[in-house]
Structure formats: structure tokens, C-alpha cells
Copies of this chain bind each other. A is one copy, B any other.
């Protein structure tokens, strides 16, 4: 199966991507006066579609702003059957295993994917379908919340491609599957 699946996500030192109420205020504890995007727009230049779960989709949709993505977003959901009309041509529902979902997305011509959201990333890791991980660590130990990682059937080796510090406080590691 051709194509690459990449993750770009922020986490706490102890590996949470949101607090126990789903909150992400703690992501902004480090002052960022010039709005440094910590490599996100550079990362997205090489992405042609996003894949996310229903929960992440609804979180993004509830942000107090217009729909933020210019590229197609594929939402994995077994429960959603239709989408708001204003997102027609922008958001597409897909169902099935990560393999089936990838086949559907590749068949539509999208091969360089950003995989987003805890559950979706975990599913793709379980089937060893994540090629690159860009992990941005906020210097806080949250103590509980929504974890980035979950149990895997076998361990996965990565190469460290790059390690960088943003805003003197936030370290980012870029890993590529061995």
C-alpha cells in the first residue's frame, strides 16, 4: 500500500493530548507572542488530506472560527451518517478499519495523509500504518487526560530524524518508521 501517514501533535511530558475534560488550554502555557506555528505549516505543505475521528472533527468544528482546512478532511465514524451542508466538498465520511479507510482515501487520489486525534492515531499505530511522528512536548506533567498512545500488539521502532526546541521551552522530535 503506497502513501505516507504522518502525525503532527502536541502532548504533555506524560503523553496526554488533552486534559480529562478534553481541554487544551495547557497547550498555551508557554508564551508565544509571535504565533510561532512550530513547524506546522511547513509540515502541512507535504500533506494532501487529513484523517480524523468524529471526536476530533467535532472539537475542530466547535472552535469559534471558520472551518480551518483547505485540503479534504476524511472523518472516520461508524455513527455519523451525514455532515453539515456547509462542509460539503470539504469533509467526507469514511468507515471501516484503518486498512479499508486508507484504500478508500487512496482510491480518491490522496496519498500523503495527516492522521489526527487520539483514537485514530492509536488505531493506525496498532496496524503499523504510521510512517512519521512529529511530537511537540509542552513542559507540563498533566497527571491525567486523553492519552496519545495505547496498547500495541508489538513494539514499533522509529528513527529520530530531527530534534528541535521552540520558544526555548517546547521540544519537538520528528520520528520516521524504521
Chain A interfacial positions (CB closer than 8 Å to B): 12-15, 19, 26, 29, 125, 133, 135, 137, 139-144, 148-149, 151-160, 163, 165, 168-171, 173, 175
Contacts and interface: CB of A to CB of B under 8 A. Distances in A.
A38 to B, nearest CB: 13
A140 B152 contact: no
B143 A29 contact: no
Contacts of A157: 29, 139-140
A171 B168 contact: no
A141 B160 contact: no
Contacts of A144: 151-152
A171 B163 CA distance: 7
Contact of A160 (B139, B142, B155, B159): B139
A143 B139 contact: no
Given A15-B149, A175-B139, A170 B165 contact: no
A10 to B, nearest CB: 14
A159 B173 CA distance: 17
A154 B14 CA distance: 13
A148 B157 CA distance: 19
Contact of A143 (B13, B156, B160): B156
B160 A169 contact: yes
Nearest to A126: B143
Lowest 10 A-B CB distances belong to which pairs? Answer: A143-B152, A14-B149, A141-B156, A163-B171, A139-B158, A15-B15, A142-B155, A160-B169, A163-B165, A139-B160
